[in-house]
Amino acid sequence: MNKKPTKSFKAEMNLPKLIEQFGSDEKCRAQLASLRWPKGVACPRCQSKSVSKVVERDQYDCNACRYQFSVTSGTIFHDTHLPLSKWFLAIYLMTESKKGMSALQIKRTINVSYETAWYLCHRIRAAMRDINAELLRGVVEVDETYVGGKTRGMGRGYKGNKAIAIGAVQREDQFIHDNTAPDTEAIYTDEMPAYWGIEDADTKHKWVNHSKEEWVVGDVHTNGIESVRSLLKRSIIGSYHKVSIKHLDAYLDELEHRFNNRKNEYIFRDTLTKLVNATKLPYSELTKSA
Ligand SMILES: [Zn+2]
């Protein structure tokens, strides 16, 4: 995760504005068209820009290859019978809510079936995976946490039914400005053996020994990542209640996306842009067993 410096933060989108600007299918389509084709409508099949608009069907006809398409053709918005304004609401709610939204909350809030809400959530999360490909630099904090339910009779320490989630955050950019080496300079972790040996010639590895109640030694601590870990725990406890191991990666991706964009006033628009340009995730891909 990348921490960017923060100035005054004011979200570009809010609920009244969303309803006013994207309350109808027509307005949503216009928005998607400007995000999908910023340089003018192009045929998704042959890229020709010679297209005719068929207004009554919300479609375009390609004059070169005769392909008929709409702004949602080939995107994740296609094939759902859901009004685009509900899609927009779901995207807004998921990007805006700090702790995330469960399918159950989406179901209740936008008034769709649970199956639709579940499908919607997973499609939005899947598209978010395309974001945040940037590698971490400078000083990186790494920490691990176990995610999963309690097993009766086994006590809280039992990890047999849990998945391990390893998180990493980059220290605030101020530190990096002072340390201009192109490679990662240091990785700070706790004492867990999994981290041993991650250093190399130009990357130091330092750790604090949590089992000995050691939390901060000089500059070495993992407080940054631990705040993210507690956000993850609160997200799961507060919103999701139960995260299946199969979908854990997707939940973590969503958390990362929201964390990295927490100061991004255009998060709604940016997520929408990713979604309209993302490849479709077939339903079979989502439901196949891990
Ligand atoms: Zn064409």
Pick the closest to residue 145 from 251, 271, 263 (CA basis): 251
Distance 181 CA to ligand 1 centre (A): 48
pLDDT band at 179 (very low <50, low <70, confident <90, very high): very low
Share of the chain above pLDDT 90, in %: 24
Angle between helices 84-96 and 25-36 (to 10 degrees): 70
pLDDT band at 43 (very low <50, low <70, confident <90, very high): very high
Per-residue pLDDT at 96? 78
Mean pLDDT rounded to a whole number for the chain = 72
pLDDT band at 289 (very low <50, low <70, confident <90, very high): very low
Give the helix ranges, DSSP H, for 129-262.
173-178, 223-235, 248-260
Distance 67 CA to ligand 1 centre (A): 5
Q: What is the DSSP string of 76-97?
A: TTTT--S-HHHHHHHHHHHHH-
Pick the closest to residue 280 from 127, 132, 130, 133 (CA basis): 127
pLDDT of residue 254 exceeding 50: yes
Angle at 272 between CA 269 and CA 278, to 5 degrees: 140
Q: pLDDT tens-digit profile of 65-98?
A: 999 999 998 887 886 778 999 999 999 988 777 6
Whether 124 contacts 94, CB under 8 Å: yes
Distance 61 CA to ligand 1 centre (A): 8
Mean pLDDT of 100-120: 90
Distance 183 CA to ligand 1 centre (A): 45
Give the helix ranges, DSSP H, for the chain.
15-22, 25-36, 84-96, 103-110, 114-128, 173-178, 223-235, 248-260, 267-277, 283-287
Per-residue pLDDT at 125? 73
Distance 106 CA to ligand 1 centre (A): 37
pLDDT of residue 168 exceeding 50: yes
pLDDT of residue 157 exceeding 60: no
